[in-house]
Amino acid sequence: MADQEKNKNNIENRWTWLDSGVAAPKGFFATGVQAGIKYQNKYDVALIYSDRMAQAAGVFTRNKVKAHPLVLTQKHLEDGQAQAVVVNSGNANACVGEAGDQAALAMACETAKCLGLKTEDVLVTSTGVIGVEMPVVRVVSGIQAAAAEIKKLVGTNSSLLEAGVQADTDSKAKAETKVKSEVDNEAKTGSEAEARALVHEHGTLAARAIMTTDTTLKQVAGELGCKSGVIRVGAMAKGSGMIHPNMGTMLGFITTDAAVDHAELKDLLVQAVDESFNMVTVDGDTSTNDMVVILANGASGVTPEGEELEAFKELVSEICVKLAQEIARDGEGATKLIEVKVLGAESVDGARQIAKAICGSSLVKAAIFGEDANWGRILAAAGYSGADFNPDLVDIYLGDVIVASEGRGLNFSEEKAKEVLEQKEIVITVNLNSGQDSATAWGCDLTHEYVTINGKYRT
C-alpha cells in the first residue's frame, strides 16, 4: 500500500515504457512500404489499422495554407471516429489545386477498399515537397502492398488477439519498471512471441516510412495498469526539420486500446499537444501539413475514470513530450537539444510565449551552438516575446549555473558555464519570480549544417 501511494506521487512509476510504437495497443496494426514516391529504396507509405472502429480526434496546423489531405482528414474526423490512417512521405500534396483533393480522396478510397472500410473512416496525411502533383499510381500501389501486409499480420495474430496479447515489450525496459503489465504474467508460446515481434517490426516500418529529413526514427509506447486491466498507448512522429522534401512537417500519430470518447480524446489531445508539439521550435516555420491524431479503439476493455483517467491523460502528454524532445533533438543540422523552462510566471500562456521566444531566437540558438554563455540574448528574447513581465525580477540559469539575477548579469564562472554548454542537452531556466505558472519549450542549436541542408534541397 505504501508503494502504491508512492506510485501515485511519482508519475514515472505509474506506467511502463514499451519498446514499441503505434502497434503496441491491442487491435492496432501498422506497416510501411517502399512505393518510390520520390526516392527508390525509401519507405514512404505507412498504414495504421485498427481491427475495430476507433474513436478519433486530431489537431491541425494553424497555417492559412492547408494541404489537401489535411482538409479531407478534418472532414473524416467530423463524426469522431476512424479505423485507419494512411500516410505518405516524399510529397506534401499541397498547393496543387483540384488534383490534390482528388489524390487525397484516392488514397482514402484505396485504403478503404483494401481493408474493407468506409472511405470516411480513413484519415490521410502527406509530408514532402509542396506544389508538385502526387504520383497517385505509385501511392495506390504502395497502399495495396501495405494493406496486404496488414491483412497478413491480422490473420497471424487473430488467435493472440483474442488472448489479449500483442506487441512485444523491451526486456531491459521491463527490468527497470515498477509496474508489471498483465502481458508478463501470461504464458507465451514460441509462435506467439514471433507474431508479436512481427507486429512490432512492422509498426517500426510505419515509423520509418513517415521520416523525411529526420535522422532518427521516432516512436514510443507505454502501458498503464488499471484496476480492470492494462491500457496501452503507442505513438510515432516525424520532425519539423524542414527541407528535402521542401516543407517537412510535424506529424504525430497516437493509438490506444483504452475506451475513451472522441470528445474526451479531443480535449486531452489539445492539452497534450499544447505542452509538447506546440512547444517545439526548430526554425519557427509552421507547415501546411502539421497534424497530430489519436485513435482509441477500446480493445483493452478498460474505460479509464477518475484517477486512472488522469494517469491516462498524463501518459498521453508524456508520450507527446518525449516525441517533441526527439523532434527538437533531431532538428535539421542540430548538435544540441535546448530545453527552456520558464518558472514563476503569472500565466501559463505568458510562460509559453517566453519559453518559445527564447527557444526560437536565432541569436540564442547560434550562441548555444558556439557554447557561449550569452545570457543577454536570453533576456532580450524574453523581452520581445510579447508576454508581460518585470525584467528587474528575472533570474537566468544555464544548467545549474546562475548567470543573471534580478535582470542583471552576475560575475559567474565562465568555466562552469562552459561545462554546461559543452553538453548535448542544455537546460536554460528563466525564473520570472512573479507567479506560480510555468512552461517548457524545446529547440535545437542553429548550425552551419542547417544552412547547408536548407540552402540545397531542391537541386
Binding site for a copy of itself (CB under 8 A): 62-66, 92, 94-97, 129-132, 242-243, 246-247, 283-288, 360-363, 366-367, 369-377, 379-385, 387-389, 391, 404, 406-409, 446-448, 450-459
Nearest approach in angstroms of CB 137 to a copy of itself is 20
- Residue number with CB closer to a copy of itself (130 or 338): 130
Contact 225, 179 (CB under 8 A): yes
Q: What is the DSSP letter of 53?
A: E
Question: What is d(CA 426, CA 420) in angstroms, rounded to the nearest whole number?
Answer: 7
Q: Which of 111, 249, 255, 440 is catalytic?
A: 249
Beta carbons within 8 Å of 155's beta carbon, 6+ residues apart: none
Question: What is d(CA 292, CA 218) in angstroms, rounded to the nearest whole number?
Answer: 14
Q: What b/e readout covers 389-417, taking b as 16+ CB neighbours within 10 angstroms?
A: beeeebbbbbbebbbbbeeeeeebeeeeb
Q: What is the DSSP letter of 120?
A: G
Residue 155, classified by CB atoms within 10 Å of its CB into exposed (0-12), middle (13-18) or buried (19+), is exposed
Contact 143, 126 (CB under 8 A): no
Residue 225 phi/psi, 5° resolution?
-80, 120
Question: What is d(CA 421, CA 367) in angstroms, rounded to the nearest whole number?
Answer: 10
Nearest approach in angstroms of CB 136 to a copy of itself is 17
- Residue number with CB closer to a copy of itself (52 or 408): 408
Specify which residues 231 forms β-bridges with: 224
- Residue number with CB closer to a copy of itself (170 or 372): 372
Nearest approach in angstroms of CB 384 to a copy of itself is 4
Nearest approach in angstroms of CB 387 to a copy of itself is 8
- Residue number with CB closer to a copy of itself (227 or 458): 458
- Residue number with CB closer to a copy of itself (166 or 287): 287
Question: What is d(CA 206, CA 228) in angstroms, rounded to the nearest whole number?
Answer: 31
- Residue number with CB closer to a copy of itself (155 or 409): 409
Q: Is 156 a catalytic residue?
A: no
Question: What is d(CA 396, CA 341) in angstroms, rounded to the nearest whole number?
Answer: 10
Q: Provide the annotated active-site residues.
A: 249
